[in-house]
Structure 1
Amino acid sequence: MRSRKVWLIGFAALLLFSCSKSKDKIPVAKVSDRVITLAKFEDAYLKVDPRFLPEGEGFEKLRNFLDVLVEKEIMAIKADELGYDKDKGVQTSLEHFKRLGLQAAYLKFRVADKVSITEKLLRDYYDRLGTMISMKQILVDTKEEGEHVRKLLVEGSDFESVCKQYSKGPDAEDGGKIMTASFGNFPPHMQDELFSQPVGGITKPLESPYGYFVIKVVKIDKAKARKPFEKMKKDLEDMVRALEEKRFMDQRSEEIRQRAGVEWYPENIRIFFEALPPDRPLTNPPRRDEEVYPLLKFDEVDLDKVLVSYKDKVITIRDYSDVYDRKNFFERPRRANRLAGIKGRIMEIVMNELVADEMRRSKIEEQPELQDLLRIKKEELMVTRMYDELILKKVIVTNNEVNNYYKDNLELYKMPEQRRFGVILTGDETTAKEAYSKLKEGMQVGQVALLYSIDEQTRRMRGETDLLARGGQPEIDDVGFGMAKVGDISEPFETSRGWVVLKLVEMVPGRTRPLEEVRDAVESDIRTLKSDSRLKELISEWKEDLSIEIYEGNLRKAEVHGRKTKEPS
């Protein structure tokens, strides 16, 4: 059940930028001194998740959507009147957003004009899409160790022996296991290096969150089938843009680090690593009142040893030990990630400071777009705080209400039948028939997916979906839920994305969940209903004190026929 508060606050960022300058002067609504222009209305309507759109058809739907935006403005005005801009929680959250959210925006802003998606880039990406590489890898802690390992391999040393001697990976004892991965699933620097290698090629040391990988390419399989280039072009543009933005952001970050003279001290990071406790399961975090500080024990002579230096500053073992104590369990480095995990956590601290310095020098916060972003984020925080204090904290739900609501709404808490499928998505009917034959011969779904599927997600999932109810993947519903038993394989059929073959892997019958199982959900639904009712009452009261004008003639000029109708997955 979607809260009305989520609807209202969820639209805030959608009013940030507008595409049409000509429509930016045309008002569709005015709430006190706040104006919603036709441009901002169209932008919000076209961008919003379909689930947020109100009911209605034609102009009625536009009018209902405008009412939601007006109510969002009413809440922002009231939060300002009640002084939530001075609330300590709001101020703290806004500062946190400035440190992290604005820094990400700053880096993206700096690379936006550098990303150019050419036909050649698209063609190169398309030509390699679906390419599978089988590889063996050696994981080491430092770049120097990686270079030494690579030198041994290039000079002819046996891979298994070198892996057993140097690798810190879980497969070191076996001399490295063969793994398979597809093009498009690596960060830019790894993908460029890995997919430029021939069979037998050895990569240079590749930095990762776990350390440095030296990889040997064992086998290369080109894609069996793909959709035609023109049919994939729009998706390719999105994929290539994301990859190129990441590439330029990485380059920009590295430039910032180089200017600051960032230098690491691996031998001291290793001292910190050796002090880390055994990794505790992420599902079982310790309670704060169970912890005894300092959590890590070091020799006194090691405390002032430097982990990283930059500009005229250093972070020592003592410094980061204090940070480690203050961080929650999930933000602390783990032994599984070795030295790179510690380095990555410290890098976050260093980059936060360096990017903040760059932002101050650039005066980017003075840019109108960033000013708008900060204003809208502040309003979002203020409205959330006001909603929590005036409404949510005052809602009481009794056991009697829970019991009665559950009895009256059993349909809401029924678990429908769910099915898991093996899915092979191909670009043409001929390939789909080949995949169908392989499945009928007994080949595993995962193997068939790797050989024939053009869908990267199902390839990563070894061809299998999550458990799905009807409606989870509408285009396969009729065929998938028409299959009689586990193991059945469908004939190839066509969808909007290509030709599909299904194998029924698992069936879970539908059932009515007992109250004990869904009590929290029932209570949450009642709380939402009560909160929404009270919010509606308050907005009606607040409206009385405000001047609200609606310009229906201007609203009728809205051009929103191009909004995406794709349902969320």
Structure 2
Amino acid sequence: MKNIALTLLICLTTIGFSQNFFKSEIKNDTIAKVGDKAITVRDFIERYELTVWRGKEKKTQVDKNKLEFLYSMIAEKLLAFKGLELGLDKDPEIQRAIQQTEKLLVLDALYKQEIKNKVSVSEREILEALPKYNTEVELHYIIAETKEKADSLWNLLKGGEDFDSLMVKLGQKNNSEKLRWGEIYEPIEKIVYDYLSVGEVYQPVQVDSLWYIIKLAGKSSKFGLSPDEIESAKSQVRKIIQERKEKQRFIEFVNEFGKGKILKVDAHLLKLLYREINNIVEKKKYVRKAENVSVYPLAVLRDDFLDIKSRLAGFLDQYFLKGDSFNRTLDYVIDQLSFKGFVLHSDRQSVSGVLNGLLKTIINEEFLAFEGYRRGLDKSPEVLKDMEMWRDAYLAYAVKKLVLDSLKFNRSISAEELLKSYRPTTGDIWEIKIQEILVNDIDLADSLLNLVKSGYDMGELARRFSKREIARENDGIIGYVLSNQLGEIGQIAGTLEIGEVYGPLYTEEGYSIFKLIDKRKPKDTLFVVNYDTFGVVLNKLIASLADEYGVSVKPEILKAVEVTYINTIVVRFLGFNNRILAVPLLERNVDWLRFIKKKNLPLP
């Protein structure tokens, strides 16, 4: 059932505040040096505030948390140095990630130039909207799937049928919400605030593919607000008006910008791509119907697109999109579809319809990105700074993956060396058993989390949606395994109560939702040592890089940095309807300090 409230507003306004805060109010002293690179106070705060960090909520250990976080940032930069040295920036997977992130940031910079910076909100506009914002309304609504059904219901109401009784008859008795100005779909909002009195009902209104009949059931206004409350309300009103003006300016710009621009789609490649996606969708439908489970939502996952690439290997370098200024290969377009997420939410959607919509979005973005690069926005200070952070994160990930892969095939580290260098950490490690669903798309992850919280069987959802094959075959259950073997998931799972659900958590593999089934202390220290092999090798590598490049920190500046105690993962909403994580996630990594030769760094 479609909700008439706008649910993303709080996230958008929160991000806006965070970005303004980081850019304007922080003294930008250097807090650490890693080789020739500096980590500033602003760099540290931006990353710390927008990253989930175990124990951040504990005020008594704030200094320890800050120092450990700083050393983890240093470790990431050192690994990035190694990645460049090894040429991992030329790795196709890393190149794709870097190029995609840069494109999104260039699009955001273009959006600011053409949309955001060309919109302003006057004090008069704020004062006119403020009384509406301070008035909460209670809405009851009836939903109809067709205009004919909506008109039939409207005739019943005009004939004297009681609105609330009709809601009950239709099984829609829970269709009621208390909302305020700015939280309601705009056409309905205008009706509610400008035309309806309490108790009145308005004729059917179309919202997307559905029809709504609205009753204003109640209205209450706030009076006697304090000066601080008034200023807070004015700030929220300004953001709502700004967002709506940006939306209007966006439509004007895109219509103007798109005139005369043509990008041809290769019909043969489109037919091949459609056939492959449709085959995957039909197979998934067949399996779910055979298992007598709900078919939707149905997602084509990253692994599915990799399979499509393997089947269309001979066509990947051919141009799928052809224009006067640029061309894009089939390989590139498949990557874009995977990034965007291909999801059917109901049987009213078709593969061709979803594919067509995504291709339109991709084509529009390619024109806009081409314009952004033409203007040199990839060289703007803001984009360059953001890309340095993301590039370091991608390179560090590539080095870790290289180390892990080498351990899988090379047992060159002796047990004696491991035991000699190993310091028991079993007090911080649990053997855990979890149930997990791992997907590529955050919207799909949010939907699945809501289903789990409403009592839907998590095992069934894991079988249908999880991209982790080994878990999918076992109702999503993983374990018992050591918590340090599962990275950030393991760290968080070790802090949960049995039965507690957490997520969505962004990981390098996708968005994870997991439930802690059980946890226990490890009995065998050598068992822990075995799984710490990767950690030991990685930390020795980081320590050698620290000795090679040089690391220095300024603990007195770090101690003076004020931080909050809230753990949160924040999504950064970019221009032209894109989004990424506000900052790359950071793994806790301080054990490398045990292996450095120059013992001149303060310990956490």
3-state DSSP of counterpart to 2:140: strand
Normalization by structure 1: what TM-score?
0.52
Aligned equivalent of 1:120:
127
Aligned equivalent of 1:88:
92
Matched, 1:27 2:30: yes
Out of 154, 158, 179, the position equivalent to 1:159 is 154
Aligned equivalent of 1:201:
202
Out of 176, 179, 183, the position equivalent to 1:180 is 176
Structure 2 letter corresponding to 1:159:
W
* Shift in alpha-carbon separation, 1:408–1:327, aligned structure 2, 3 A: closer
Matched, 1:368 2:378: no
Q: How many residues align?
A: 398
Alpha carbons 1:71, 1:539 under 8 Å: kept:
yes
Aligned equivalent of 2:470:
none
* Shift in alpha-carbon separation, 1:37–1:224, aligned structure 2, 3 A: closer
Alpha-carbon distance, 1:91 to partner? 0.9
Alpha-carbon distance, 1:378 to partner? 2.0
Mapped to 1, the partners of 2:116 and 2:378 lie a distance apart of 17
Alpha carbons 1:17, 1:40 under 8 Å: kept:
no
Matched, 1:97 2:108: no
Aligned equivalent of 1:351:
364
Unaligned runs of 5+ in 2: 1-17, 158-165, 263-273, 286-294, 312-322, 410-423, 435-449, 457-496, 501-515, 570-604
Mapped to 2, the partners of 1:379 and 1:181 lie a distance apart of 45
- Larger relative contact order (C-alpha < 8 A, sep ≥ 6)? 2
Mapped to 2, the partners of 1:70 and 1:292 lie a distance apart of 39
Structure exhibiting the larger radius of gyration computed from Cα positions: 1
Deviations 1:304-331 (A, max 9, x none): xxxxxxx999xxxxx9xx9899879961
Structure 2 letter corresponding to 1:345:
L
Alpha carbons 2:429, 2:521 under 8 Å: kept:
no
Matched, 1:534 2:537: yes
Aligned equivalent of 2:4:
none
Deviations 1:204-250 (A, max 9, x none): 544x3xx3x44322343225999967676687578656644543443
Structure 2 letter corresponding to 1:78:
K
For residues 106-255 of structure 1, the aligned pairs below 5 Å read 106-107=110-111, 110-113=114-117, 114=119, 116=121, 120=127, 123-124=130-131, 126-129=133-136, 131-139=137-145, 159=154, 179-183=175-179, 189-190=186-187, 192-196=189-193, 197-198=195-196, 199-202=200-203, 205-206=206-207, 208=208, 211=209, 213-223=210-220, 240=237, 243-244=240-241, 246-255=243-252
Structure 2 letter corresponding to 1:134:
H
Matched, 1:66 2:70: yes
Mapped to 2, the partners of 1:115 and 1:521 lie a distance apart of 58
Alpha carbons 1:138, 1:215 under 8 Å: kept:
yes
Alpha carbons 1:137, 1:216 under 8 Å: kept:
yes
> Percentage identity across aligned positions?
13
Alpha carbons 2:97, 2:394 under 8 Å: kept:
yes
Matched, 1:564 2:591: no
Mapped to 2, the partners of 1:342 and 1:123 lie a distance apart of 42
* Shift in alpha-carbon separation, 1:195–1:288, aligned structure 2, 3 A: same
Normalization by structure 2: what TM-score?
0.49
Mapped to 2, the partners of 1:65 and 1:246 lie a distance apart of 35
Alpha-carbon distance, 1:254 to partner? 1.7
Unaligned runs of 5+ in 1: 1-13, 141-145, 163-170, 264-271, 296-310, 314-318, 397-404, 416-460, 468-508
Mapped to 1, the partners of 2:532 and 2:145 lie a distance apart of 53
Mapped to 1, the partners of 2:85 and 2:371 lie a distance apart of 35
Aligned equivalent of 2:553:
550
Aligned equivalent of 1:390:
403
Out of 49, 54, 70, the position equivalent to 1:51 is 54
* Shift in alpha-carbon separation, 1:537–1:240, aligned structure 2, 3 A: farther
Alpha carbons 2:203, 2:214 under 8 Å: kept:
yes
Alpha carbons 2:80, 2:392 under 8 Å: kept:
yes
Alpha carbons 2:342, 2:354 under 8 Å: kept:
no
For residues 409-558 of structure 1, the aligned pairs below 5 Å read 413=432, 529-552=532-555, 555=557
Structure 1 letter corresponding to 2:135:
R
Deviations 1:415-455 (A, max 9, x none): 9xxxxxxxxxxxxxxxxxxxxxxxxxxxxxxxxxxxxxxxx
- RMSD of aligned Cα (Å): 6.0
Mapped to 2, the partners of 1:389 and 1:116 lie a distance apart of 51
Alpha-carbon distance, 1:135 to partner? 1.8
Out of 303, 311, 331, the position equivalent to 2:342 is 331
Mapped to 1, the partners of 2:134 and 2:19 lie a distance apart of 39
